[in-house]
Structure 1
């Protein structure tokens, strides 16, 4: 094979160039090269800017490399036998063909994968006979199944008589719509909670490009509802955006009924704005810079169906999919969950919360609560004025390296005179969107009472019906619009209760507990048992797992930390606490440095890390750092990986253990994550031997000190 063969001027192409648009087919394959190679070589792997496999037969290995970027995109070379070429010659080799002599057949294979109608002379001839007056297509949209396999294409033609659409059935290789007709954008629908249904691929793609999950039925408003497969929308919350015309409203009505029938969780049809022109649609809205999120809050809508999804016991038993990561472990704040932090006035809720949020935003553990990553947090703070808020922030005991994440990830409002009602909701939505265009991980409201909207029939936050209205129609709606998977943290006051009542069931102290307590997924409550003592009791209540043991906490040097269980502070215990606090600090420094350095593309062995950070961040001498790494590896905070070639890394020097690895570590470039790094082995706490990791996703910490 010729490494530099790029000439497509074969005899077959010169005779019928319109039937074999090889340059166009090759370009399209190169634009989707990783997907194409993954389909052709499922045993291959992407490593940086290369795709590697063992040989052209697709065996496992790394002898054959395909370049994925730059001017060499698609060029390949087999280092074992010296063969190579471009993506056309590679496709030929896969099928046992000759790239030059069998050129038309090779191109046909490539076009088949793309689903292009102009691939084999018989099909093309029929296609051109039927539609030769349409000219070249001006738009093309690919329809995939949930697994990402191409199943159909829709082509748009702009003719003198208006726009025309033609469907191509990839499996049947005919110019027709598949039966049943698929929905657009199915791979994204599979993992989404909320889905927009619009008319036409152009409108759907406009929303997709702006961060929404959107779909359309093939042929839009003209789609035969009974011939469309609506099943991907089962268990989804579907929002229908009709075009502003009679046909669009009629289509929305019939589609809504069909979607409700297949088991969507809810189906809501939105009414186009009063001042919108004829046929105005989602694509027009995006092009005009229309405020979609505000429109979602304020516009009229028609709810056809709201239902409760159900699961058969056998389905639950058979579902072995991994559990979602806790936003704040262990189960204190889960994805899509709601944490309520309660306490009496002046007990220190806001100080406690600011400490917690700063640590969450930096990805640091706080009172044994560990965030899954540095969390993007929007703190709707409606109590403390700006200058006093600024004063509290400056008192947080965070190191400079920890503040780099907090500075960007934690966004705070000063005291607001605002209610989360129809007027205030759009203002907060705009602020959140401006702060985090892709959506925050956590939304915090502190306190509830200062922004509480009781609804048309409610009175105050002590009214159960008013509390339910606020939670469902305001708080949940706010979350659903900016990020349905975000965690919520609400701060609320407690009623006066005796110490005995509080100890029996502390969460009954929450004001409006009848509805609030039945709604949240987890709760934390601060209580001051002795008026003249500085300690607070911190109680937990979890819906999704066992509640952690209550803690006695104290604020010391601006930092919340655990106090002795009996509250007695003698010199020896005070010194022990200082030592414990220092060990915890060094642990967090080392773990966070390993995590942040990996995002910059830098990984370390124990010796390399100790030398690189000697006498930095208060870690001490290199020997002290090595000792601390040894302890942390015994306790499960640090593991190791030695499959360095999987990440295009050079072998570790003078190390029998390999590179250091921490939970959720990602290898990146200039702070942009590229891939997860998983441990291959760990240090046994009993024998100190290096043992293979059975489940690289599971991390067990043998203590928290």
Structure 2
């Protein structure tokens, strides 16, 4: 009230004050010191710990190093701001960081610190101070209590549940520190039971864990359930365990499950997966509700839909030399003899476009389904073949199979043992597998297929996020995550045949390594157990060359095959007719010249020399049997049109002179390495050391326009067999 200019304060109307004793204040200070680093990062998220000091820009928490807090020694917890010479203890830091006064606002500051530390407020009983820190008197008596014990059974902590009118609350008691707080680190619940278990169910809260434990299921939880700080929980007890996380059916439950899953994977769990709660259950439904309503929890854990965070890696089998020497058990029976396709094997069947690959494959597979030999390849019995094809429409597929020649006896077997799809228009991603796998499983009335065929790879390819089929990483993903998933789901012992395309094989590549022509060959050849190629050596003739590459057996000689009167036969290849001997000599001469030019470019680069077309023609005129300048230029033009020669214009990257007025640039061939002189001279000889640089093309000659075009992928070389050189077309 007021009288004149004097203001009178009525202390009878003042709110009741709670006085803090020195012991109360010291308890708060000790609690803050006990969790010093956590307190500082809570108050100043932008601060950083460096050595035995904590740095932040100022008391408001700005980034910087002006304010320093001591972390060790007798001055632990004391701080000083060197910008304004301010300082104090942790209580002062707490107050000033919130714009409060330690004198006028101390009750509020003490309540904040006490709440953060989990301390019970001091209780005043008629003027007497009770310092026993009774747990949360204002919440009433606790309604539940859970004990956290160590591996030796020693009590580590207790968690109390209270149910005041404002809603349930939990308070942890650190037994060792004798303080109302969670231990650091926080242990998992029911630790002793986890040690002998292989599979552990991680739930949200002690009530859910107890419910499952009562049902005979090994379960645990992190202290504080969905609010558990992942980084403050000790997950190490779950190392090498299979962990299934059963979340509450709500958004916080799923968030908790994902955070816990990442922590479990990081600590070394053998496998981690999150169970998806049934869609027909109410919001917040949990494991405790499931047990209470008589839900079949064991069946749910075993069969429920789940999100796999980390799959269990199979244990690598190992054998001693003695075990291998002493094992005289018979070898598994070949699916296709001799070792063309073995149980659990993978065969890649490749060929260039229009070589007759699908027609050959269809005849081959129907013979295997009939138990009949085909071109020297023999099945031990009629095989069940599932042919997944994505190239030929239904009506044209049936037209093709009606042209296959089989005896009536063999045809009757193949009619039921061979199962084909019409042209599929899908990708073998997760959705595609969900359609394909059930069809394969159901194809033979409960019997497993012996051979699974995909024709062609390119039409159903899924390389994940890695790229297309020419990318080795994408191809490895397709083989391991798509093809293997199909095999494991349908029949782990089935043989798999993948039909795949090759680049058009040139004579040089055919002679050196034909299987390198497969797209994604690096991953394919490291993965498959056998390979087959169908190659037409002469486009003017129908004869094909059948080539094998086996990983699990001795080499098979190549065959020449042809289709005659609707059937494939092995044929003998005789020399050309006398009337064609002159043409054969011309072919050999042109190949020799072509190989000579390519070899010269390759060898000269190794000596540190590169050439434009004019420079090469001038330098090698009349040498190596190449003829005059004009002849060499024509040959270079033909070879560049065919793709055997490309060009690079970034000469400075290789320490070469500028290309000047050259239309195309320097010549390069596949695999060319340029040795350049660089670095300091050798002390003995005074010569500069050589540095090898792989040369990649930047441009190629367009076969249609003859113009220089930028190369899209410098690592890919495609050779054209048809030449624009008039001499090649004679």
Bigger RCO of structures 1 and 2 (CA < 8 A, at least 6 apart): 1
